[in-house]
Amino acid sequence: MLDARGLLAQAAIAGGNVRIGLKDATWIARGVKAPSNAAMVEKACRMLDDPGVERMGPGAPARHWVFERTTHMLTLFHSPGSCSNGILYLLNDLDLPHRVHVVDILKGDQRQPDYRALNPKGKVPALRLEDGTVLTEFPVIAFWIAQSGAWPGDPLAQARTLELLDFMVASVHMRGFTFVKVPGKFVSDPDAQAALYAHGRDQVDQGLAILSETLGDKDYLQGDFTIADAALIYLLDWAEMDGIAIADNLAACHARLRARPAYAASAAHWTR
């Protein structure tokens, strides 16, 4: 079996197309008028080992020798510590090859023109698919990922999973934790901030009580692990961070989720 260098040499001789799987990308070596200079092929191989090179024509006109890198990989636009942790966790749990592009929301990266061009909503997460299509909104991305797993087979269980996902993101997160974490984003008066915090905290407490009742004595919200649990882990992380007490069964589920390999695999991008 030929290695990358052998395949490149073969491509240079044949003047045809050859795909070379290397690291996290697929490289295409294309020789139109294939160079016979072995040194050029060697240089191409060295350049091939540099993951930062996107296109190159090593020492010759591009019409003679061109390398292209096509990523063929999911890209998660992610802010560590945010709700996009759940999508990162899900990608790792299902072992889907991906790269992470960090969006520092504290520095305002989400408002920059290049990110707005990708996601006009200026939020995370966003997931760029292999063909360049961009998906936004946690439930939508989770549902797309679920086609690779973590999705129940029964239609009613599927509906219940989406029901849970919507409740956690739209209610516990958006109408609860948002006001607990950043009341000053909405009002400047200290008394108004305190009232908004109290409202958010009430929503969080009610939401966590409902989730505890839903969980019962099961290992995960639906019994088996589903995309709903990827939302639950970031909510429970936030509760812990903000000193909010949770029921014993939620604490046990939180520990169970952290014990899955996906948690360790996500560690590099989990917190700021």
CA atoms 102, 105, 111, 116: torsion sign: positive
Q: Which domains does the chain have, with CATH numbers?
A: 4-70 (no CATH), 74-146 (3.40.30.10), 152-269 (1.20.1050.10)
The partner residues of 27 in beta bridges, in order of sequence, read 20, 69
Q: pTM of this prediction? A: 0.74
The partner residues of 19 in beta bridges, in order of sequence, read 28
Each residue of 131-182: pLDDT tens digit? 899 999 999 999 999 988 889 999 999 999 999 999 999 999 999 999 999 9
The partner residues of 70 in beta bridges, in order of sequence, read 26
Alpha-carbon gap, residue 111 to 117, rounded angstroms: 10
pLDDT at 45: 54
Phi and psi dihedrals of 56, rounded to 5?
-160, 155
Alpha-carbon gap, residue 216 to 220, rounded angstroms: 9
Tokens 């997460």 correspond to: 125
Q: What confidence category does residue 86 fall into, taking pLDDT thresholds of 50, 70 and 90?
A: very high
DSSP-assigned letter for residue 82 = S
Each residue of 185-231: pLDDT tens digit? 999 999 999 999 999 999 999 999 999 999 999 999 999 999 999 99
Show the tokens assigned to 160.
């219940």
Alpha-carbon gap, residue 223 to 235, rounded angstroms: 18
